[in-house]
Amino acid sequence: GTKCPVELFQTALCYLDSCNHWTVDTWSSCNIENGHCGFGERTRKISCIQRPGLTVAEWKCTEQRPKETERCFLPCPGECHLSTWSSWSHCHVICDPDITEGIQSRSRSILQEGITKYSWCPSNLIETRKCRHTKECIHFIWKTGNWVADIRDVWCESSNGVKVTGGCLEEEQPAGLKVCSPPCNITGSYCQDVNFCTCHEGLESQHSDSGELVNCWNRTMGNNSVKADYLVIPVDGPSNIWMWAVIAAGVAFVVFVVAAVVTICRYMKKDDINQHRTTFRLEREEVFSVTDTETLTVNKVSKFKTRATRSIPKVTKCSFQRYHKPHHIENL
């Protein structure tokens, strides 16, 4: 017998009835009977095809048949000529969960201006209508990748997860290069993120009111006690400058007060001594001017001793040295 053929399957192209569809030609010019301007009619050719170049019976096209004729208008010379209305735009709506109603619009243009006032073109070239917005509003946000050697990817992404260009605000774009300004000079710190210094693992951080890192320390626990080993405390900044300025002003004020008190005390002491010397000189002249009787002289001297003793000023708390009586008073 003969061998069986190797080819056991064959294929051929075929077209299903569902592929049948309408095709239309362009509109003809506006045909006006018995005239050259005004309203008329234009037509176009409609066909049902199965594939390009293969026309079939119209009943095989299940979709609604397009219009084959429509009314048209051809303006007369000097009259206004407008284009047809455009299609309605998509529904414009503010992205707000509480707002579900938007606005649609369409427009037309002037193809020819009218010459007379009775043929002027209308002013309503734009129409609007309300519409309901059913789709979710799309938002755009910046996304960043992980840091790799102080560099990371930065991109703009829509709320539906699609990377886009131009949807996000440029002034809100995160940095793609990790740089801290001012630099992280505190011992035990490093630049964790853009302009954000923090302490290494195992160290606790201390921040100022403005959020700036001011200290890193190692805190160890033991025997219910806490020991803090401070690494770096001082930080140059405007707050420290003001602090030192206030301290300097306070010290200067205290020095001024002490100097004033010392000067006043010395002046009072010197005035008391001068007053005592004047009294002593007057009493002495009175005693030695009397030479009539010895008894009178003794009485005067006795009075002088009493007065001289009373006139010696007491040492006040402001005095800085002990006051001694003059030797010539003791010998009287």
Rounded to an integer, the average pLDDT of 188-199 is 83
Q: At what angle do helices 294-311 and 238-288 cross, to 10 degrees?
A: 170
Q: Is 111 or 16 the better-scoring residue by pLDDT?
A: 111
Using the CB atoms, write b or e for 277-316: b if 16+ within 10 Å.
eeebeebbeebeeeeeeeeeeeebbeebeeebeeebeeee
Residue 119: exposed, middle, or buried by beta-carbon count in 10 A (0-12, 13-18, 19+)? middle
Rounded to an integer, the average pLDDT of 198-221 is 81
Rounded CA gap, 233 and 247, in Å? 18
Rounded CA gap, 230 and 283, in Å? 74
Strand partners, 299: none
Strand, coil or helix: what is 112? Answer: strand
Instruction: State residue 274's pLDDT score.
Output: 67
Rounded to an integer, the average pLDDT of 200-225 is 74
- The pLDDT tens digits of the residues spanning 18-56 come to 588 899 999 998 888 887 888 889 999 999 998 888 889
State the pairing for strand pair 189-193/163-164: unpaired
What pLDDT band is residue 321 in, cutting at 50, 70 and 90? very low
Rounded CA gap, 283 and 278, in Å? 9
Instruction: State residue 332's pLDDT score.
Output: 43
Quick check: 213 and 189 in contact, CB under 8 A? yes
Instruction: State residue 14's pLDDT score.
Output: 65
- The pLDDT tens digits of the residues spanning 259-299 come to 888 888 887 777 666 666 665 555 555 544 444 444 444 44
Domain boundaries, the chain: 14-74, 179-235, 250-330
Question: 192 φ, ψ to 5°?
Answer: -80, -40
Rounded to an integer, the average pLDDT of 70-77 is 84
Instruction: State residue 328's pLDDT score.
Output: 46
